[in-house]
Amino acid sequence: MDTIVCQDLIEVVTRWVLQNSPDPLGGDGLVTPETDLLASGLLDSVGLMNLVAYIESVVRCRIDLELDVDLAEFSTIRGLCGHAVQSRDGMRQGGGHE
């Protein structure tokens, strides 16, 4: 799972969102990597928090929430996955432990 690439991660995360959303067919019924998970009602704040924890478990790396976070991206699957991969890669380059 360490070698997971962003596209694979996006697919895994999209499945998680559909399985855990209280309203998976809400909004326009379409979940794309760019869908705003909060504004569409797919996830609420608790759901987003759980999603972050899930992504952390998949990439085996803590997502740094204090870092310069683009809030618009933080509520999309693509943005979150990108942020997670960046966090993981940054940790590797910095010699951190997974």
Partner 1 sequence: MNNEMIHSYSQIANAYESEVNRNSCWGQVADRFVRCVLLEKVRRVRGDVGDIGCGTGRTLFDLAAGAKASTKFTGVEPAEMMRQIASSRVQGRDNIRIIDGRFESLGLPDGSFDYVYSILAFHWTEDPTRSVGELRRVLRHDGRMDLLFTGRWTGREFIRATTPVYMRHLGPALLFRAVGLRRQFTVPETVELFSRAFPQENVRVTESFETHYDTLESHMGWWIRFEGQLGGLPTDRLETCRAEVSQALSRLGTERGIPYTTHLIHVEVDLSQ
Find the binder of partner 1 among 5, 29, 30, 45 (CB under 8 A).
Answer: 45
- Considering beta carbons, is residue 7 or 57 the nearer one to partner 1? 57
Q: Is 38 in the site for partner 1 (CB under 8 A)?
A: yes
- DSSP string covering the chain: -TT--HHHHHHHHHHHHHHH-SSTT-TTS---TTS-TTTTTS--HHHHHHHHHHHHHHHTS---SSS---HHHHTSHHHHHHHHHHHHHHHHHTT---
- Sites of contact with partner 1 (CB under 8 A): 22, 36, 38-39, 41, 44-46, 48-49, 52, 65-66, 69, 71, 74-75
